[in-house]
Structure 1
Amino acid sequence: MQHTKEKISEQQKENNEVVKVYSRTNPFQAKVLENKNLNGPGSSKETRHIELSLEESGLSYVPGDCLGILPENDPELVAELLQELKADGNQSVTVNKQGDQLSLKEALTTYFEITLLTKKVLQQAAELTENEELNNLVLPENVNQLKEYIDGRDLLDLLRDFGPWKASPQDIVSLLRKMPPRLYSIASSFAKHPGQVHLTIGAVRYTAHGRDRKGVCSVQCSERLHEGDTLPVFVQQNKHFNLPASEDTDIIMVGPGTGIAPFRSFIEERAVNRGTGRSWLFFGDQHSSTDFLYQDELEQYQKDGVLTKLDAAFSRDSEQKVYVQHKMMEHSKEVFEWLENGAYFYVCGDKQYMAKDVHNTLIDIIEKEGKMNRDSAEEYLSDMQKLKRYQRDVY
């Protein structure tokens, strides 16, 4: 009997080794099937459409979920840091409390966050230099100046601005936090693309404090990720941003720029499942000729009757800037009719400006078309939120 038990446990052990569970701590190396720029020539933007293979990963997702990517830092920035540290990239450094070691170059490339500073980093760095300016900056009474300094600066700025340093490369990396994964709304339906996941990623580039800056993951995807390469990924559920349970419920989607991503997944899912629910998309960007992301696909879905209404706003095509909220207001009567009919309302994209403007415009529409006062209109929207009929994925 004992012999059989041992045999079974060995068998189970073998089976367990076969089933790999991919997650944030054990990401899947997804192969790049396609990586193309969605913007036309002359656009001031670069938006990548990336298709990845999930074959043999056991991973799947539903519309609204996110894909996590473990990015790598820009090799040019890493080279500049090594130069500034006057260090050999091959020397070993300890990267965590478990005592794991990596080469300095590898640690700065794959393990640590080097493009953002925090109050804690500066406070600890002040102990490694006699630089008076830094020691003043971290004093409690200078908290506002500290915030101002941190904004838009990185580790290279810190090293250049406040030397000379009484610190080894190990001391410097010990200041840093582990690089967090970047989460992106999934832009495909698993039902339409089994074994694949698609992303819509806008490359972030800007100049601050006299240096060009690049978004860690977005620029890796636009400049250094080629077909056939692999990317470490995992699926992150998003329980607060989902299609209605019934395929027969109407949906209104507001997604300018890369905010289109989850709505491409919603529309594809609806195309496969063929419910009777109507769908209405408000999309916005700068120029219709160069920035109408997924235009051909969306117009085809409209022809096929999957997408009932498509309204696009292009802010730089006219003297007066036109945004998605202006298009909503233009159709205020119909928007309110859809809401009264039980439609779900979704917003995805920029939290700072767009989502606030859309929120306020939605209250304006409810107030005007529902002939109610401001408080009642806000309560109407609040009730929609409680019923999960008003959902936002903003960043």
Structure 2
Amino acid sequence: MESLQRSDVPLTFSKQEDLRRFAESLNREQLLWASGYLTGVGNTVNVQRISGDADARITILFGTETGNAKRLAEALVTRVQAAGMQADLQDMLTYGRAKMRRDHTLLVIVSTHGDGEPPDSARALHTLLTNRQAPDLRHLRFSVLALGDASYPRFCQAGRDFDAAFAAAGAHCLVPRVDCDVDYEERVTCWMEHVLEALTVGDSSPAASLPAPTPKQGYSSHATFPAVLLDKVNLSGRGSSREVWHLELDLDGSGLHYAPGDILSVNPANPPQLVEELLDRLALDHRAPVRTRQGEMPLVEALAAHYEITRITWPFLERYARLSDAKALQSAIAGRDVNGLDTWTDGRDVIDVVGQYPVKGLSAQSFTDCLRPLPPRRYSIASSLLAVPGEVHLTVAAVRYSSHGRERMGVASTFLADRIAVGRPVPIFIEPNAEFRLPEDSGQAMIMIGAGTGVAPFRSFLQEREALGAAGNNWLFFGDRHFSTDFLYQREWLRWLRDGRLTRLDVAFSRDQERKIYVQDRLRERAGDVFAWLEKGAAVYVCGAEAMGRAVQQSLVDIVQSAGRTQVQAEEYILELKQTGRYHRDVY
């Protein structure tokens, strides 16, 4: 009974002592009866709370960058309510200390952005919980669902941080944290089932009878639509160091709909030459049968279409290290040498691991069991259904580079650029992106900031506003390498500028002069006008690489400061833009 005498037990010291003395006075049979009695009392209290006590209200908290966590949180709200409980949906952006102190049950769904960072909307709460002023949460029970990408070494780090922070603040874990890779459906469903079972202990309805998650309408990564490629145009000029393609896909017969800002996901296949090289390195029979989620199939087919081989994930390294005799790899894995392995894996793929750490007698099945499923690749939609009914357009940069003595290529980008001809089908599905929508008020002004293929959603925005005859002003900041070769959709932007649909256009071509100039530099140069637009209610949209997104945000803070605010006031100004739905980011 000594373990009761701890400061984190939710009993006063005198009550702990009373309980200890009472327990020590009982024999084994009496202890078992008392244990059952206390469990029954606890369940009765739980049922009372589920039936309407204010303490029974469950907060479902999400932190998201692209909308996945929000969609899952909405699905969980539906399931909790269907089970007869009250649930509130809450964005981390507007969730603070006061609400946290009132909540008794908190279910957290949070993504990890980039290499271990919390989503932009979750940063303030992350800071609150991980600093020394974290509130006392001994009254709270919680569970965390962490979303991430195992190709990053700090996989699901944001979810891990929140899980550890709640526990450190004294909160009680309702269900252990679940970490989800990009192919997350099964693990999400499992976590939700366990959460609902834990919430309904003592209720008259068994967890097994709870309603299943509402299936997605239409298509998904497991059931794609074969959209025929209607046209493919190279947008890059002759001599460009990049290769950017405009693709037009036919949605006829699919029943699919999308809004500007949504995401089109492609289920690609691995490059055939890469599959052949991997099989040669492994010295395995191409036709060896392997069991996959899609059923049994030849190894070559599984590697071509169903497994990730161009990215090295931490789970793959852990599984492969158990098969390998390589002491260095096993040691790095055992010591969680994230930084060292991250440095080594940068620019390498599964073939490099197999070559560096060969395994004698490796079977086809044991190897594929190490790999993760080949995830879909996500692209911002570059068109409006109002402008091109029955079609969806993409802007795709073909990824090709040399690294560690080998030529490398992106899976989906070269799949679309090299291996899908006009007239051939592309396996796709559409994902809504509620965090990157046009303003509800068509008269509201927009400032759009995009670099490279990050300009794609802004083409859809302008097409939509043109088709609607929207009155709102539109200002585009676009950046790329060279004016002569990389001004994507130049004719369309200039036409919209002449027509007045595009109110202002500022471009930054980084390599056309000795000093590199980026979109964030153009923003600072136009600081006075940008701040004037913000003061009049303009919404801000940013799309592009994570580094660009961070630089643009700092520029916005600097712009507000230049208008006479302190740094703290400027940061609060930008935070208010986010909280009021006037600042949207789609960064990757």
- TM > 0.5 fold call: yes
The correspondence of residues 1-395 of structure 1 with structure 2, limited to 5 A, is 21-96=218-293, 100-140=295-335, 142-351=337-546, 353-369=547-563, 371-395=564-588
Q: Structure 1 pair 268/143, CA: closer, same or farther in 2 (3 Å)?
A: closer
Residue in structure 2 matched with residue 16 of structure 1 by the alignment: none
Tell me the distance in 2 between the aligned counterparts of 1:355 and 1:21. 32
Tell me the distance in 2 between the aligned counterparts of 1:142 and 1:293. 41
Q: CA deviation at 1:101?
A: 0.9
Q: Structure 1 pair 129/234, CA: closer, same or farther in 2 (3 Å)?
A: same
Residue in structure 1 matched with residue 144 of structure 2 by the alignment: none
Tell me the distance in 2 between the aligned counterparts of 1:143 and 1:296. 46
Kindly provide the amino acid, as one letter, of the partner of residue 44 in structure 1.
S
Q: Structure 1 pair 123/166, CA: closer, same or farther in 2 (3 Å)?
A: farther
Q: CA deviation at 1:26?
A: 1.0
Kindly provide the amino acid, as one letter, of the partner of residue 292 in structure 1.
F
Gaps of 5+ in 1: 1-19
Greater alpha carbon shift after TM alignment, 327-336 vs 129-138: 129-138
Tell me the distance in 2 between the aligned counterparts of 1:143 and 1:378. 32
Q: Which of 1 and 2 has higher RCO (CA within 8 Å, sep 6+)? A: 1
Q: CA deviation at 1:112?
A: 0.3
Q: CA deviation at 1:131?
A: 3.0
Tell me the distance in 1 between the aligned counterparts of 2:394 and 2:275. 26
Tell me the distance in 1 between the aligned counterparts of 2:458 and 2:336. 47
Deviations, residues 41-85 of structure 1 (Å, cap 9, x unaligned): 000011110100000000010001000100110100001111112
- TM-score normalised by structure 1 residue count: 0.91
Gaps of 5+ in 2: 1-216
Conserved 8 A contact 1:241-1:393: yes
Kindly provide the amino acid, as one letter, of the partner of residue 79 in structure 1.
E
Conserved 8 A contact 2:230-2:422: yes
Greater alpha carbon shift after TM alignment, 183-192 vs 329-338: 329-338
Kindly provide the amino acid, as one letter, of the partner of residue 557 in structure 2.
I
Residue in structure 2 matched with residue 3 of structure 1 by the alignment: none
Find the residue that maps to 1:255 and give its secondary structure. Answer: strand
Tell me the distance in 2 between the aligned counterparts of 1:89 and 1:228. 30
Q: Structure 1 pair 142/299, CA: closer, same or farther in 2 (3 Å)?
A: closer
Kindly provide the amino acid, as one letter, of the partner of residue 479 in structure 2.
G
Conserved 8 A contact 2:228-2:249: yes
% identical aligned pairs: 45
- TM-score normalised by structure 2 residue count: 0.62
Find the residue that maps to 2:434 and give its secondary structure. Answer: coil
Q: CA deviation at 1:290?
A: 0.4
Deviations, residues 309-345 of structure 1 (Å, cap 9, x unaligned): 1111111111111111111112111111111110001
Kindly provide the amino acid, as one letter, of the partner of residue 75 in structure 1.
P
Tell me the distance in 2 between the aligned counterparts of 1:92 and 1:27. 25
Deviant stretches of 4+, over 6 Å:
none
Tell me the distance in 1 between the aligned counterparts of 2:318 and 2:512. 48
Q: Which has the larger radius of gyration?
A: 2
Conserved 8 A contact 2:288-2:364: no
Tell me the distance in 2 between the aligned counterparts of 1:141 and 1:200. 38
